Homo-oligomer: A and B are copies of this chain.
Amino acid sequence: MKTHPFDKAIKLTVQDDGTWLGHTAAPYANMVGPFGGITAAQALNAVLIHPELLGEPISLTVNFAAAVTAGPFTMQARAARTNRSTQHWIVEMIQAGQTVLTATAVTAVRRETWSLDEESMPASPLPDQVPLPKVAPPVEWVKRYEVRPIVGGLPEVWDASGHSSLSQIWVRDNPPRSLDFASLSAIADVFFPRVFIRRSTHVPVGTVSMTVYFHTSGEQLAQTGEGYLLGQARAQAFRNGFFDQTSQLWNEAGALLVTTHQVVYYKE
């Protein structure tokens, strides 16, 4: 069986000092450096495969400190605190002796409790009723996802005519791959920058910080399998060089798997 490009991309090898050695992945290249989602997944993977790991991810915050250069990197993951059922991680990604990413993660052993999705999945046509987009940015990572925009796709004409930053999409790995925490953290970053949608104007952008809250379990992810996720994203504020975006991802059965937020630099 051929290894999926995502599994190749997040592969880490343990080094003598307990840190992880990884390598950037050409199939997930962005305009400059890699797709942020794949870097987030590499950072989370340093926790997921760590011998000290307790439980499953609850939250992940990644801060993109500098451009990641094509080539090898070191991922340092340290359990700063381990409690009875929760664990707190600090992760740093290093290239040429310099920090290029900082991250924190919380993992926990969950127990079954009263549960409720307050934010319902928006009513949407089924994935096979939503055509693929006519335009796609000429970058590699975009080809690694099958994205079917329901509303708020990339503008076909950049005419400064936008009036809302809301997007709703169906999304899954391309080729399909059974969902897990690492791939879910990458998909959390799959939404195009809201400033493009809101303004129909192309400006230089870069995610500064992203936080992912996981409302799911490894078992539920395995059940979700290769199915599509319904993603929704919108901005709340654009102010002097930075905007936020707030997003949700549901599986086809309507379970809210992830709520995620990010703050993004924009130039003008």
Task: Spell out A's residues near B (CB within 8 Å).
Answer: 58-59, 61, 63, 65-66, 80-81, 83, 86, 88, 90, 92, 98-100, 102-104, 106, 108, 110-119, 164-165, 198-199, 208-209, 211, 213, 215-217, 234-242, 244, 246, 248, 256, 259, 261, 263, 265-268
CB atoms of B65 and A237 under 8 A apart: no
Q: Tell me whether B92 and A63 are in contact (CB under 8 A).
A: no
| Bound CA–CA A268/B111 (angstroms) | 9
Check A244 against B266 for contact (C-beta < 8 Å). no
Quick check: A113 and B65 within 8 Å, CB to CB?
no
Q: Which residues of B contact A239 (CB under 8 A)?
A: 115, 117, 215-216, 256
Partner of A234, one of B59, B118, B237: B118
Determine whether the beta carbon of B259 is less than 8 Å from that of A242. Answer: no
CB distance from A238 to the nearest CB of B (A): 5
What's the nearest-Cβ distance from chain B to residue A43, in Å?
12
The interface residues of chain B lying within 8 Å CB-to-CB of A110 are 240-242
Which of B88, B115, B266 makes the CB contact (< 8 A) with A63? B88
Determine how many copies of this chain the complex contains. Answer: 2
Complex-state Cα separation, A82 to B108, whole angstroms? 32
Q: Is the beta-carbon distance between A66 and B81 smaller than 8 angstroms?
A: yes
Determine the residue in chain B with the shortest Cβ distance to A268.
B113
Among B58, B88, B256, the residue within 8 A (CB) of A65 is: B88
Q: Are B242 and A108 in contact (CB under 8 A)?
A: yes
Residues on the B chain within 8 Å of A90, using CB = 90, 92, 102
Contact yes or no, B113 A99, CB < 8 A: no
Beta-carbon contact of B259 and A237 below 8 Å? yes
20 contacts between A and B (CB under 8 A): A58-B242, A59-B63, A59-B208, A61-B104, A61-B209, A61-B211, A65-B88, A86-B265, A88-B99, A108-B242, A110-B240, A111-B240, A117-B236, A117-B237, A117-B238, A213-B263, A215-B239, A237-B259, A239-B256, A244-B259
